Structure 1
Amino acid sequence: MTETKQLRRLKVLAKRYARANRIAQHQALDLIAGELGFPHWNKFISASKKGWQANSEQLAGVEAFVRRPLSAATFRKADPEAMSRRFAHLEQAEHGMIGNHAYRLQELLHDVIIAGEGWSIRVPENPGAIPIVETFTEQNGECPVLDPEFLETALSLARHRAAQVRGDISVDWPRRSTKPDLDGVVRHPLGRGESDVWFCLHCDGKITGTQIAQNLWHCPGCGASPLDIFDEPFWSDDGGKSFLPVKEDVAVERDEPNFRIVDGRPKLDLNEEKFILLIRSALLDDATNISERLGALLAEISVDDENCAWIALEADLWPEDKEPVQALAVSALLGLEVELESVWSTIPFAWPGLGEITSSTTEYTKMMLDTYAQHGGSPDRKA
């Protein structure tokens, strides 16, 4: 594959990936470059101009990457680095079986998640937080995580991984952040100084250095993250004198998880935008020629809070005596009362009658261009 063909192929793959996952083209290009070992697309282009080419194995890797979906909408607007981390988490997931049930175990943003069909358990980064069990069935339903022995095994796997994650965090932090001195003084892992007393911005709790170090810099009272922990209560009017000490002395990993039943069924959320989309689609069903189709696309549609719909159709494009049967039927299904109106406004092309003799956009476009050339001069072309 020549350099030009290879570059063109990579751009096509990036475009396909961007469209499939509804992300920006430049994000997809950067992700493709990342699969080839470059920090971003511009670096890849610079190397390509100097003669660098991907080998067949690298191209196969990019092809496989493009076939892998970006399933989490949460990361749709993230930067390429964040999305790459997401893929790394998915690739690092461990797969196994508990009895006859498959599971996937992975770390995500320092939380550990073990999940299977219809259930998941999340062990938070905070050592004192209660694990969260989510199921798609009632407590008396058939779900493996409702079996105490299964739950105990799954929790053990997740907690073991969580201990490894917390160990890795501790290694990355300064030693004084996890080991207080004889006076209980510890250093904030984010560089906010040293102290033997710390304050939680979230709950106004007063925490000892030993407490906060043992709980991996999460508030033992409310669970707030290290971002909310400060050595000075700058938000307090009395310098923190009214703040109460957090009672819990050490982080205790609770045995009983918190169960949550999740309704995974899709929920229909109808709003004005969706009402208009369905009504316009129905108008296109009613259209039998190009003029009427253009009238459906250009129709003014609005829906108010009292479930009344207003449809204004361009008189030169939609026959005044033609009732939009499908649009009215869809509106009735949606519980909307419809008011129809004909309006006169500027239409996109002259000679609207041309669109009444064909249902083919290609044929109409040719006739329209020919008629402009014969009677009205060549149409202006504006980018």
Structure 2
Amino acid sequence: MTETNNLHSLKVLAKRYARANRIAQHLALDLIAGELDFPHWSKLITAVKNGWRVNAQQMTDVEAFAMRALPTASFQKGNSEVMKRRFAYLEQAEHGMICDHPYRLQVVLHDVIMAGEGWSIRVPENPGAVPLVETFADRDEKCPVHDPQFLQAALTLARNRAVQVRGEISTDWPRRSTKPDQNGVVRHPLGRGDSNLWFCLHCDGKITGAQIAQNLWHCPGCGTSPLDIFDTAFWTDDEGKSLLLVKADGGEERDGPDFQRVDGRPKLDLSEEKIILLMRSALLDDVNRTGFAGDPNL
């Protein structure tokens, strides 16, 4: 591999990593250099000019690193051992055990769902949304999610997987959709133009470019999806001038989730229409068995 190919491949991986994690390109380059045991990108460039070449195993390791997304806090700490342990933990996350309780973890329409016996946790695609814990049991009954240690471990696992999912979404979008320029201008991921001010059709909120990019294009006020975000408030008479800025910062998760008790018992919900349908079904069954049609007025 030539010097040019070396650098080009590493730069491509750094670009992918920067987009997935919504960080600056220079920070991604330094992280890639760190995976190759250089303190920063400039040192790597100097080594390449002096004849250093990345070998096949190193390139494989860097490619694996670039395919994963982690919270920005992990970048800033720069602890490679902590990051590697988290990678290994996430790779085993589809099925596992927490405190002797089995769980299943999956991604459905970009929401992370973690479930076990009598409980489930949903972490939405929206970074500003609060996780929802559903349980079939009351707090005085035995259910693992009522144990603070179990709940914290499960939430950490589900939230870490949600970070990966959001990183994959960011990678598919234009770079400018998640990285505002110096004027706060961002590009709508669905091709609705560039602007430093956006409007929510759902709640009439006015949102800055930095806010909407940080919250992965979900309204930081009501949480609606990018489908309801526009660069003009075309539904108002004054083009949105009277609309108020959304105060929520977005992109920050609350420490605790919302709890919801679900009654998992089968329910018989009978309306007048359903009762008539059941009676007609019973009469048709009688006709098939006996040939007697019953009351013709039904």
Q: TM above 0.5, one fold? A: yes
Shift of 1:279: 4.6
Deviation at 1:250, TM superposition (A): 4.0
Map 1:144-159 onto structure 2 (within 5 A): 144-159=144-159
Q: Pairwise mapping of residues 1-383 of structure 1 onto structure 2 (< 5 A)?
A: 94-270=94-270, 271=274, 272-281=276-285, 283=286, 293-296=290-293, 300=296, 302=298
One-letter code aligned to 2:278: K
Unaligned runs of 5+ in 2: 1-91
1:106 is displaced (CA, Å) by 0.4
Partners in 2 of 1:222 and 1:157 — Cα distance?
26
The answer on whether the counterparts of 2:93 and 2:157 sit within 8 Å (CA) in structure 1 is no
Q: 1:68 maps to what in 2?
A: none
For the Cα contact (< 8 Å) 1:133–1:257, is it kept in 2?
yes
TM-score, normalising length: structure 2: 0.65
8 Å CA contact 1:276–1:301 kept in 2: the answer is no
Query: Structure 1 residues 301 and 121 mapped into 2: Cα distance closer, same or farther (>3 Å)?
Result: farther
CA, structure 1 residues 250+295, in 2 after alignment: closer, same or farther (shift >3 Å)?
closer
**TM-score scaled to structure 1, two decimals?**
0.51
- CA offsets 1:69-110 (integer angstroms, 9 cap, x no match): xxxxxxxxxxxxxxxxxxxxxxx9811111111100000000
Q: CA deviation at 1:248?
A: 1.8
Q: Deviations over 1:264-307 (max 9, x none)?
A: 111112321013223544x369x6xxxxx2334x86362xxxxx
- Quote the Cα distance in structure 1 between the aligned partners of 2:283 and 2:150: 50
Secondary structure of the residue that 1:300 maps to in structure 2?
Answer: coil
SS in 1 for 2:198: strand
Inter-partner Cα distance in structure 1 for 2:122 and 2:257: 9
Q: Distance in 2 between matches of 1:207 and 1:128?
A: 14
Asked if structure 2 preserves the Cα contact closer than 8 Å seen for 1:205 and 1:243, the reply is: yes
CA RMSD of aligned residues (A): 1.9
The answer to whether the 8 A contact 1:145-1:151 is kept is yes
CA contact (8 A) 1:206 1:245 kept: yes
Radius of gyration: which is bigger?
Answer: 1
Q: Matches of 2:226 and 2:113 in 1, distance apart?
A: 21
199 and 280 in structure 1: CA distance in 2 versus 1, 3 angstrom threshold: same
Task: Name the amino acid aligned to 1:139.
Answer: R
In structure 2, C-alpha distance between the alignment counterparts of 1:229 and 1:182, rounded to whole Å: 21
Output one character per residue of 1:226-247: Cα deviation in whole Å (capped at 9) or x when no partner: 0000000000112111111011
| CA contact 1:93–1:107 (8 Å) conserved in 2 | no
Residue 280 of structure 2 aligns with an amino acid whose one-letter code is I
Aligned residue pairs total: 203
Aligned mates of 2:224, 2:250 — CA distance in 1: 15
**How far does residue 154 in structure 1 lie from its aligned partner after superposition?**
0.6
- Which protein has greater RCO, CA pairs closer than 8 Å, 6+ apart? 2
SS class of match (2:291): helix
Identity %: 67
- Residues of 2 paired with 1:299 and 1:161: CA distance? 60
Q: Provide the rounded CA distance (Å) in 2 between the counterparts of 1:98 and 1:175.
A: 37
Q: Which amino acid aligns with 2:281?
A: L
> For the residues of structure 2 that align with 1:275 and 1:130, how far apart are their CA atoms?
45
List gaps (5 residues or longer) in structure 1. Answer: 1-91, 288-292, 303-383
